[in-house]
Copies of this chain bind each other. A is one copy, B any other.
Amino acid sequence: MGRQYTIYNTLTRRKENFETIHPGMVGIYVCGPTVYGEPHLGHARPAVTYDVLVRLMKYLGYKVRYVRNITDVGHLEHDADEGADKIAQKAKLESLEPMEVVQTYTIAYHDAMRRLNTLAPNIEPRASGHIIEQIEVIKKILQAGYAYESNGSVYFDVQAYNRDHKYGLLSGRNIDDMLETTRALDGTQDKRSPFDFALWKKASPEHIMRWPSPWSDGFPGWHLECSAMSEKYLGETFDIHGGGMDLQFPHHECELAQNVASRGCQGVKYWMHNNLITINGKKMGKSLGNFITLNELFSGSHALLEQAYTPMTIRFFILQAHYRSTIDFSNDALKAAEKGLKRIMQAAKDIKGLTYKGDSENEELKQLMESVMEALCDDMNTPIALAHMFDAVRIVNTAKEGKSTLSLKDKEILDEMFGRIVPEVMGLEDESASSSDQNLVGGLVEMVLEVRKEAKAKKDWATSDLIRDRLKEIGVNIKDTKDGTEWSL
């Protein structure tokens, strides 16, 4: 809280000074995954974006409650031609159980998020676990007169709502314009208007997930869960609601309308939307064959991938673009990110080995640290922050080469930048082998090189060559320089 954070609010379409509703505390709700498939690139961007937001808020001194839901009320259906009777006869163990699917992909999602080093949310509510809460919201909306029942289903009455409250605030859509461009319903539907959306759907015989309700055995409409769960865990009005830009309309627009209709307030102070990911310029889609799962990225097992990319490379790549900009995945871009990440992580190691003298201050470094914080607090501008860090890396490297010296005051800044901002805020961790193994290997190689040095001193070329060749076989390359022998794996 020491520094003013500015946040772009989708609702007002401008950057605003971030002021929390309750001093020192931030409530954040983010739309999480629908767990009916493998976690893919599309999941990585919002997860990393809001993870850095949460980490930054904590770094700035806020107490954060981060809620991210799991959409597990899916639309799995029994094989239609089985018919309701056949299904009823089937043993539970024989028939498809949606919660088995949910469990499989929830675990896959959590594993991928762990590898991306995203912090688990403080609360991870499931739609299926909050049916009662959703039914209560529907009752309130019906009571307020902004919904109607139709054949066991309940729909939100957009036009009735629009008469009292403007519908379309978030997406900037005007319902009257929409009316003109939308053709009327053919009358076969339960809805009165094409804009109306389901709050409760009566389940067809084939529909597996169903719960009793005052209107029918059915299931809640998709938009409803976020209204119900965000209020339950963050209160009637909370600070930040995040999600992908693709959710802005209709999902978040409907959520906002549900909030007003059920509790008389919009519920959200700042709406945040991350932009989407394209692959080689194209939208990602199963049909386009450019649908890449996170495990495929981590293992490189996809036709479009020239190599495997580590979770931290993916994370770094996402942070190299501002969250409101589009981002295009390509092998070249990912390889560049891989290099950039290496430079940052190397610097983070190097600063531990440097010798710091005196208490003069490197003014440029001081300014860079200031600029990094400015960028982060300017609507979370991670690419600018990283650019300043690369300048700091240059300063570290100059000192490493002995072309300049750094003071203990400079060390404090470097420790803050590479020892706290990089791991704590950016969430970038060292992916190299566990340090204990590293030390063992390092120690062994160093001693081998020492033996080789002695051998050379004794003109024992046989031994020194043997060592060089055998090291090469094992995968250790050595280079003789005037200052000694360098080695790398």
- Chain B residue nearest in CB terms to A213: B132
Chain A count of residues within 8 A CB distance of the other chain? 58
What 1/0 mask marks residues of chain A from 457 to 472 whose CB sits below 8 Å from any chain B CB? 0000001001100110
> Does A27 touch B at the CB level, under 8 Å?
yes
- List B contacts of A489 (CB < 8 A): 440
Of B27, B121, B212, B445, which is within 8 A of A93 by CB?
Answer: B27
> Does A447 touch B at the CB level, under 8 Å?
yes
> Does A136 touch B at the CB level, under 8 Å?
yes
> Does A169 touch B at the CB level, under 8 Å?
no
Across the interface, do B437 and A235 meet the contact criterion of CB distance under 8 Å? Answer: no
Roughly how many angstroms separate A128 CA and B437 CA in the complex, as a whole number?
A: 44
Of B122, B211, B463, which is within 8 A of A454 by CB?
Answer: B463
Across the interface, do B235 and A92 meet the contact criterion of CB distance under 8 Å? Answer: yes
Roughly how many angstroms separate A25 CA and B25 CA in the complex, as a whole number?
A: 51
Roughly how many angstroms separate A21 CA and B91 CA in the complex, as a whole number?
A: 10
Of B103, B121, B122, B124, which is within 8 A of A122 by CB?
Answer: B103
Segment among A8-16, A94-102, A410-418 that sits at the interface with chain B: A94-102
Across the interface, do A65 and B99 meet the contact criterion of CB distance under 8 Å? Answer: no
Across the interface, do A443 and B233 meet the contact criterion of CB distance under 8 Å? Answer: no
> Does A131 touch B at the CB level, under 8 Å?
yes
Counted per complex, copies of this chain come to 2
Of B130, B234, B433, B444, which is within 8 A of A92 by CB?
Answer: B234
Roughly how many angstroms separate A463 CA and B462 CA in the complex, as a whole number?
A: 14
A407-456, CB < 8 A from B: 433-434, 437, 440-441, 443-445, 447-448, 450-451, 454-455
Across the interface, do A437 and B444 meet the contact criterion of CB distance under 8 Å? Answer: no
- List B contacts of A223 (CB < 8 A): none
Across the interface, do B444 and A433 meet the contact criterion of CB distance under 8 Å? Answer: no
Across the interface, do A475 and B440 meet the contact criterion of CB distance under 8 Å? Answer: yes
- List B contacts of A93 (CB < 8 A): 22, 25, 27, 63, 65, 234-235, 238
Across the interface, do B136 and A123 meet the contact criterion of CB distance under 8 Å? Answer: no
Roughly how many angstroms separate A474 CA and B94 CA in the complex, as a whole number?
A: 58
Of B99, B433, B445, B473, which is within 8 A of A125 by CB?
Answer: B99
Q: Given A27-B93, A131-B132, 20 other A-B contacts at CB below 8 A?
A: A22-B91, A25-B93, A63-B93, A65-B93, A65-B100, A91-B235, A92-B238, A93-B238, A99-B123, A100-B123, A103-B121, A129-B129, A132-B211, A440-B441, A440-B474, A440-B489, A444-B445, A447-B448, A451-B467, A454-B463
A residues lining the B interface (CB < 8 Å): 21-22, 25, 27, 63, 65, 91-94, 97, 99-100, 103, 107, 120-126, 128-132, 136, 211-212, 233-235, 238, 433-434, 437, 440-441, 443-445, 447-448, 450-451, 454-455, 463, 466-467, 470-471, 473-476, 489
20 examples of A-B residue contacts, CB within 8 angstroms: A21-B91, A22-B91, A27-B92, A63-B93, A93-B238, A97-B123, A97-B233, A103-B123, A107-B120, A131-B132, A132-B132, A437-B437, A441-B441, A441-B444, A443-B474, A444-B444, A447-B470, A448-B448, A451-B466, A454-B466
